[in-house]
A and B are shown apart, each in its own frame.
Chain A
Amino acid sequence: MISLSDFNHEHAQHGIAVSVRDLGLTYTTSIEKKPTLKARFKSLGRGKRHTRIVPALTDVNIDVHYGAVLGIIGSNGAGKSTLMRVISGIIPPSQGRVEVYGSVSTLLALGVGFNPSMTGRDNVYLGGLAAGMSREEIDNHFDAIADFSELGEAIDAPMRTYSSGMFARLAFSVAAVVEPDILIIDEALSTGDAKFKEKSLNRIKELRSADRALILVSHALATIEDICNEVIWLNKGKLMMRGNPPEVINAYREFVNARKSASSDEDV
Chain B
Amino acid sequence: MDKPVVIYEPFRAGLPPMREYFASLWSRRAFISEFSRSGLRQQNYGSIFGQLWLILNPLLLSAVYFLLIYVIGGSSDATRFGHLTATLFLFYLIANSLTGGVKAITSGERLILNTSFPRIMLPISATVIALFKFLPTVVVFSVIHLLIGLPFSWQMLWAVPILFIAVVMALGMSILISCINVYFRDISSILPYLTRSLLYLSPILYEASNISESIKKFEILNPLFYLLDSWSRVVVHAEAPTMNGLIHASLWALGLLFIGAYFFLSRERDFAVRL
Contact = CB atoms under 8 A, between A and B. Distances in A.
A126 interface: yes
B164 interface: no
Contacts of B112: 90
Interface string B1-12: 111111111110
B186 interface: yes
B2 A101 contact: yes
Most A-side CB within 10 Å, residue of B11, B117, B273, B274: B273
B113 A98 contact: no
Contact of B116 (A89, A95, A99, A135): A89
A90 B115 contact: yes
A182 to B, nearest CB: 10
B38 interface: yes
A194 interface: no
B interface secondary structure, majority: helix
B184 A89 contact: no
A134 B30 contact: yes
Contacts, number: 140
Given A30-B274, A91-B273, A117 B42 contact: yes
Contacts of A16: 2
Most A-side CB within 10 Å, residue of B11, B116, B274: B116
Contacts of B114: 90, 106, 108-109, 112
A67 interface: no
B38 A1 contact: no
A100 to B, nearest CB: 5
B110 interface: yes
Interface string B231-247: 00000000000000000
A93 to B, nearest CB: 6
A34 B110 CA distance: 16
B24 interface: yes
A99 B7 contact: yes
B112 to A, nearest CB: 8
B27 A1 contact: yes
B137 to A, nearest CB: 24
Interface in B246-275: 269-270, 272-274
Contacts of A112: 110-111, 114-115
A106 B7 contact: no
Nearest to B113: A90
Interface size class of B (residues with CB under 8 A): 35 or more
A260 interface: no
B110 A109 contact: yes
A94 B2 contact: no
A99 B4 contact: yes
Given A97-B7, A98-B8, A117-B41, A1 B117 contact: yes
A85 interface: yes
B183 A3 contact: no
B116 A35 contact: no
A115 B42 contact: yes
Interface string A149-171: 00000000000000000000000
Contacts of B3: 101
Interface string B101-121: 000000000111111111000
A15 B272 contact: no
A36 B34 contact: no
B264 to A, nearest CB: 16
B185 A36 contact: yes
Interface string B198-239: 000000000000000000000000000000000000000000
A12 B3 CA distance: 12
Contacts of A34: 185
Interface of B: 1-11, 20, 24, 27-28, 30-31, 34-35, 38-39, 41-42, 46, 110-118, 183-187, 190, 269-270, 272-274
Given A85-B113, A106-B114, 11 more contacts: A2-B5, A28-B273, A88-B116, A90-B114, A90-B116, A98-B7, A98-B9, A99-B4, A109-B113, A115-B42, A129-B34
A-B pairs, top 5 by smallest CB distance, nearest first, are A129-B31, A37-B184, A115-B38, A36-B186, A89-B116
